[in-house]
Amino acid sequence: MENVIAFLVLVIVLGLAVSYIVKAKKKGVKCIGCPAGGSCPSAGKMKKKKLDGPVLGKKIMEISGMSCDHCVMNVTAMLNRIDGVSAEVKLSKGKAVVSYDREIGDDLLKNAVEMIGYQVTGIRQK
């Protein structure tokens, strides 16, 4: 009897999950479970920031906690707010390549990313 009840509960939970996913997909949601409510813009659509001067160097930031394109957009936008910085963030690698046209301290980059809830696990010169 307990097995039958457990099976029924499992079927109900699974049915509700499938129902949620189907409804979300019908509404056009791209990223189910996303903090943006499933309306993640594509990371490829974000324009690359143009630096004022020539690129002096590049740094690679290792970032944990990103799970969708919305996360990528948040990190990219936050890094690009820093004067002299242009960032390209890759979700699949958990990294950001930061180009700069002036000296930028690692602490400034790290604080910008961690301020919005992600963890910087390393920064190195490219």
Residue 20: domain span: 1-30
Structural domain includes residue 36: no
pLDDT tens string, the chain, 126 residues long: the values are 889 999 999 999 999 888 887 787 777 665 666 655 555 555 446 678 888 889 999 999 999 988 888 888 889 999 999 999 999 999 889 999 999 999 999 999 999 999 988 999 999 998
- Same domain for 54 and 6: no
Structural domain includes residue 120: yes
Structural domain includes residue 37: no
pLDDT of the residue at 126:
84
pLDDT of the residue at 52:
87
Total count of domains within the chain: 2
pTM of the prediction? 0.66
- Same domain for 2 and 49: no
Structural domain includes residue 35: no
pLDDT of the residue at 31:
64
Distance in angstroms (rounded) separating the CA atoms of residues 5 and 28: 35
- Same domain for 111 and 56: yes
- Same domain for 75 and 115: yes
- Same domain for 54 and 96: yes
DSSP 3-state of 32: coil
Exposure string over 32-53, b if 16+ CB within 10 A, otherwise e = eebebebebeebeebeebebee
- Same domain for 81 and 47: yes
pLDDT of the residue at 14:
92
- Same domain for 67 and 16: no
- Same domain for 115 and 87: yes
